[in-house]
Amino acid sequence: MPGDNALATSLVIAFLLMVAPAGQAAADNAQDAIRAALKQWTSDFNAGRADAVCALFSRELRYDFRGYPERGYDDICSRLHKSLTDSSRRYSYALDIREVIVSGDLAAVRLVWTLTVTLPNGQTVTSIEPGLDILRKDGDGKWKIIRYLAYEAPEPTSRNE
């Protein structure tokens, strides 16, 4: 019957209108959770809490950093423990999240990390590291970094125009 098609179409449209806001709310909640996890990571790093810092990374982590060979979870956590317990230097990160895109249990985060290292003589060295983190939501509901790419930004150059 022609009326049945119209009724079915109306029901589908009504259902989609109800689900769309719920889907957006879920994505917004995921974005908030990811932003909070990255901010907590920054606090933990700056406080020297290496175990808490490593907790954001998935055991299946693969990463590319500054053109070095691809590495994994054990590599990064070993380096973080060594760096954060080195009393001769002080490491500090600042975080600038540019964009968070969530699709189901996966998310991509475009961000820029600014690392400041204070050397024993008091001199500081700063590097700006734009990157892309890929996170997946674990069975326990926590977001973990499974992949990331980061590279040091080149020194700005002046142009004569």
Q: What is the pLDDT of residue 59?
A: 95
Write out the chain's pLDDT in tens, 161 residues. 555 666 666 666 666 565 555 455 556 789 999 999 999 999 999 999 999 999 999 999 999 987 788 999 999 999 999 999 999 999 999 999 999 999 999 999 999 999 999 999 999 999 999 999 999 999 888 999 999 998 877 765 444 44
61 Cβ contact partners less than 8 Å away, ≥ 6 residues apart: 72, 73, 76, 145, 146, 147, 148
Distance CA 73, CA 33 (A): 22
CA distance 131 to 141: 24
The full set of domains in the chain, from first to last, is 2-150 (3.10.450.50)
pTM of the shown model: 0.78
